[in-house]
Amino acid sequence: MKTTLGHIATIQTGIFAKQVANGEIAYLQVRHFDESGELVSLLHPDLKADEVSEKHLLQAGDVLFAAKGTKNFATVFERHNPASVASTSFFVLRLQDNSVLPEYLAWYINHPNSQSFLKGQARGTSIPSISKSMLEMLEISVPSVNTQQLILKITKLRNRESKLIRQIETLREKQIQQQIINSL
Question: Three-state DSSP class for 159?
Answer: helix
CB 56 within 8 A of CB 15: yes
Rounded distance between C-alpha atoms, residue 15 and residue 40, angstroms: 21
Same domain for 128 and 55: yes
Question: Model confidence over 125-175: pLDDT tens digits?
Answer: 778 899 999 999 999 999 999 999 999 999 999 999 999 999 999 999 999
Same domain for 148 and 98: no
* pTM for the full predicted model: 0.87
Domain range enclosing 71: 2-142
Question: Model confidence over 87-107: pLDDT tens digits?
Answer: 999 999 999 988 999 999 999
The structural domain count of the chain equals 2
Same domain for 153 and 68: no
Burial of 115 (0-12, 13-18, 19+ CB in 10 A): middle
